[in-house]
A and B are shown apart, each in its own frame.
Chain A
Amino acid sequence: MGKRFPREELLAPGHRGCAGCGASILVRMALKAAGRDVIVVNSTGCLEVFTTPYPETAWRVPWIHTAFECGGAVASGIERAIKALKKRGKFKDRKITVMPIIGDGGTADIGFQALSGALERGHDIVYIMYDNEAYMNTGVQRSSATPLFASATTAPAGKRSKGEDRPKKDMAMIAAAHGIPYVATACISYPEDLMKKVKKACEIEGPAFIHVLQPCTVGWGYNPEDTIKIGRLAVETGFFPLYEIEHGEFRITYRPAKRKPLKEYIRMQKRYRHLTDEDIEILQKYVDERCKLLGLE
């Protein structure tokens, strides 16, 4: 019987990710899709911290972490170094994928400039933004990827606050505006879709950017067993549509038969528990408008 998923584990167990951690699921899937010829770049964040407390590492592929805001630049340096090494005859006829796997803070906020530079310069990298919609590593502070009305420790809900007061920054579209050959959104609840996109991104020459939604038990407030279910609801409600933009051509890669009410997604998470039905209606309208824009009725 043919296997549905590759068996090689390039992220070792024993890492210190929380039970039900979405980031570890993403890394397992991404590396299964990419294979061994990959160099991973992490910026500071959950993933870096829980996989590499000296003297142990969970990584079975070459891995580097430097600082928080420079994943794009470090990846650029590695990509060019590989080119230089090829001139010496190393890595002959091999395509080594340089893969930054960086959180929403390290991508949409502090690392935004380095990312933009790397995309604009056309480096052959596969940049994966693992989006858990806040600074989870430091205690759930809001980032520019925190969605409207979610409560975060620096945007808490309160008597005079409904939590985060700005909608989520649209990183995939910002990446696409750089005119790069491949942009996609993905969610860990759809492994085949995600892995297909990573594989495609590895094969395409030039920069690829994949924005992956990755539920977080701690920051979003739900039972660990619901990580996949919540991700699925994010997609089924149209909160997080799955699409790709290949050489400028936009395509929805997963179309829910009928979009579920956003309320189902919202009511499962503690970060939204302060919301009234009227508040959720506002969010529903916002999601409806965005779906319409993407042609996802």
Chain B
Amino acid sequence: MERVDVITGTTAAAIGVKLSNVEVIAAYPITPQSECVEMLAKFIADGEFDAEYIKVESEHSAMAACIGASATGVRTFTATAAQGLALMHEMLYIASGMRLPIVMLNTNRALSAPINIWCDHQDSVTERDTGWIQIYAQNNQETLDSIIQAYKIAEDEDVLLPVMVCIDGFILTHTVEPVYIPDERKVRDYLGIYEPKHAYLDPDRPITQGPVGVPECYMETRKQINDAIERAKEVIKRVNEEYYQLFNRRYGNGLVEGYNLENADTVLVAMGSVCETIRYVIDRLKKKGKNIGLLRIRTFRPFPKEEIKEMLEGAENIGVLDRNISFGLNMGALGTEIMATLRDKKICNYIVGLGGRDITPRNIEEIVKHLEESKDVETKWIGLKE
């Protein structure tokens, strides 16, 4: 039976993992993710959940153990953030290169130095080219739903790629919200058991996984990953609809979600929890007669180029919020990609909320004001101290 719990984002993720009937978890604690793997350990300790849990000695080993388990043919999960994700870096390429549908929660957190445990997106956008699908959830409900959807997407035979569900550290991980918990049996029926055809270690069918990719084959493996993540767009949209039919919730078309885009000349583009703040400001400005739109990018990878083009066709002022910075370019990752997608539009890039700096409604209003007044393409840092 579906029920409502008032829970944090990390708990929502842990419940999502439990509902998804994950068989092997390998995890290493790191703030602000730890509560997720603590909850999973507790579920197992209390006999509510029958997964194998490997208490690894680092995030690198967490991903390596997930790769080993997934390559043996079971459903796997891990969670991390920031330094932990950076430590996993080479293994992320290996997970996608071996076409293993591992699902990971990344609780977005700034990268050292100086050490900082608070939210920004530098950690996950840095991993954008690793062949992982990246879903950015905006609240705790979407966190839970996205974990379940992630398995459906990752294990689809047209995809077979790992998925990272990204949620904003502290803002979602440590804040409670009411969350609908779907019926366990319904989720299990929806996902089924992971039974791969391509990759499983089994003495009865001795295959070689992870061989030397000589120049005669390596480039083709890259193209295959690129094609698969491109195909994932349709799968993500389909899963979004199926999920709506079963559980009555959907997130835009799965890839992007628009808000108040009709007749809005000025549109903000963003990812993650800040979208909820933006929506609040949009509603407030609407009462003052101002029409501002929001395009929320839910999947940063695959990057929804077609949707962006279509949904921003009428927009004249486009402001992209980035919780990350590419040093030496003075732009964020989303800004550069929106610019590459919409070449003839006026686009301003706003660097916001690094290392847990709050993004307040006032900041959003400041962005809107700047965007409407600016004549040219510009990058502006918002919320810097004097």
Query: Interface of A with B (CB < 8 Å)?
Result: 36-39, 41, 48-49, 52-55, 57, 59-67, 69-70, 72-78, 80-85, 87-88, 96, 113-114, 116-117, 120-121
Contact = CB atoms under 8 A, between A and B. Distances in A.
Contact of B68 (A54, A59, A75): A75
Contacts of B61: 70, 72-73, 76, 113-114, 117
A99 B57 CA distance: 20
Contact of A62 (B24, B67, B205): B205
Interface of B: 23-24, 26, 50-52, 54-58, 60-62, 64-74, 76, 90-91, 94, 98, 193, 201-203, 205-214, 216-217
A39 B211 contact: no
A121 B55 contact: yes
B204 to A, nearest CB: 9
B24 A114 contact: no
Contact of B201 (A39, A49, A113): A39
26 contacts: A37-B203, A39-B201, A39-B203, A53-B212, A54-B212, A54-B213, A62-B203, A62-B208, A64-B208, A66-B94, A67-B94, A73-B56, A73-B62, A74-B68, A77-B68, A77-B70, A78-B71, A80-B65, A80-B69, A81-B52, A82-B72, A83-B52, A84-B23, A84-B69, A85-B74, A87-B23
B207 A84 contact: no
A119 to B, nearest CB: 11
Nearest to B100: A66
A199 to B, nearest CB: 17
Contacts of A53: 211-212, 214
Contact of B52 (A59, A64, A84): A84
B52 to A, nearest CB: 4
Nearest to B200: A62
Contacts of A54: 211-214, 216-217
A95 to B, nearest CB: 11
Contacts of A83: 52
Specify which of B26, B65, B73, B90 lies most central, judged by the most chain A CB atoms within 10 Å of its CB: B65
Nearest to A117: B57
Contacts of B205: 62
Contacts of A52: 208, 210-212
A62 B58 contact: no
Given A54-B217, A55-B217, A77-B71, 7 more contacts: A53-B212, A59-B206, A66-B67, A66-B91, A76-B68, A77-B26, A84-B69
Contacts of B217: 54-55
Contact of A67 (B56, B64, B69): B64
Contacts of B210: 52, 64-66
